[in-house]
Amino acid sequence: MNRFTARTLRSLLVGAVAGLTPRLHAQPGAEWITREQDALWVGAFLEQPVTGRTNLWFDGSWRRMDFGARPQQLLLRPGVLVTVAPGVKIGGGVTYVATAPYGRLPLASPNRDMRTWQTLQLAHKAGAVDVSHRFLLEQRWIRPLLGDSLGPATYGNRIRYRARGQTPIGRATIGGRPLYGFIWDELLMPVGGVAQQLTIGQNRATAGVGVPLSKTTRVEVAYMNLYNAYPSRRANEVNHTVWLSWHYTGAPRPVAAASR
């Protein structure tokens, strides 16, 4: 790994760690509590080109607490991505999330979260490091599950930003394909409430290893430190999460020639 690569990864890691600092700056004089717990997330990510510029997108994840022993969430997120320039994609879609009262700071009841989303994605290289950025805007309708029926919806907006860097791990290979290491950090910021303020909701700092299985598929194994704030309860949770994911990216389609 050359010096430029090392500096780039180090800068991304510093940013990831810096993103965790909000929990260290809870309201002065207020007594906040922090609960740490273990989790297991398993996910699948699929991107299938249907034209030279348009891809169908789907990701889903099955999330459990205590390394799989107890339920946490089920997330399903379909959408469409359009390439507007090399390394630049825009898109949108919907999301369904079912959340159980989990962990040491449980919700009062299960809830169902329906969302629409819009995204801007950027990708570029920095020496030997592949760098990507994802900006995501979400509109959320969250309803409590009361027995067999849903309660009234609470509406909110959220902005998300994720930066990721990955690079080959020396000459390490499996089946002739190079292993790679990666780090990423994502900050999730709700917008709204009584004061219509931008606040810090979650931070997800992650590091792991990726294993290419073919030209179109790979698996990743990672550790994610997920910080989640509950300002109304003056509480924070830190979820030490094992993150297992399978990724499929279909072969690109040729871009249609412009009409003359």
Mean pLDDT rounded to a whole number for the chain: 88
If we measure between CA atoms, which residue out of 225, 227, 229, 228 comes closest to residue 243? Answer: 225
Q: What is the pLDDT of residues 127-156, one digit of tens each?
A: 999 999 999 999 999 999 998 899 999 999
Identify the three-state secondary structure at position 64: strand
Residue 179 lies in a domain: yes
Residue 258 lies in a domain: no
Q: How far apart are CA 48 and CA 140, in angstroms?
A: 26
Q: What is the pLDDT of residues 105-128, one digit of tens each?
A: 999 999 999 999 999 999 999 999
CATH of the domain at 117: 2.40.160
Residue 47 lies in a domain: yes
Residue 71 lies in a domain: yes
Cα dist. 51→58, 78, 256 in Å? Answer: 16, 17, 8
Distance of CA 169 to the CA centre of its chain: 23
- pLDDT at position 257, please? 58
* Whole-angstrom Cα Rg for the chain: 20
Average pLDDT (55-71) is 97
**Within 10 Å of residue 237's Cβ, how many Cβ atoms?**
21
Residue 30 lies in a domain: no
Residue 51 lies in a domain: yes
- pLDDT at position 126, please? 96
Structure token pair of residue 124: 């570029």
- pLDDT at position 7, please? 55
Residue 88 lies in a domain: yes
Count of structural domains, the chain = 1
30 pLDDT band, cuts 50/70/90, is low
- pLDDT at position 130, please? 97
If you search the block for the tokens 């994911």, which residue do you land on?
245
- pLDDT at position 255, please? 77
Residue 86 lies in a domain: yes
If you search the block for the tokens 């072969």, which residue do you land on?
251
Structural domain boundaries enclosing 212: 3-22+37-249
258 pLDDT more than 70: no
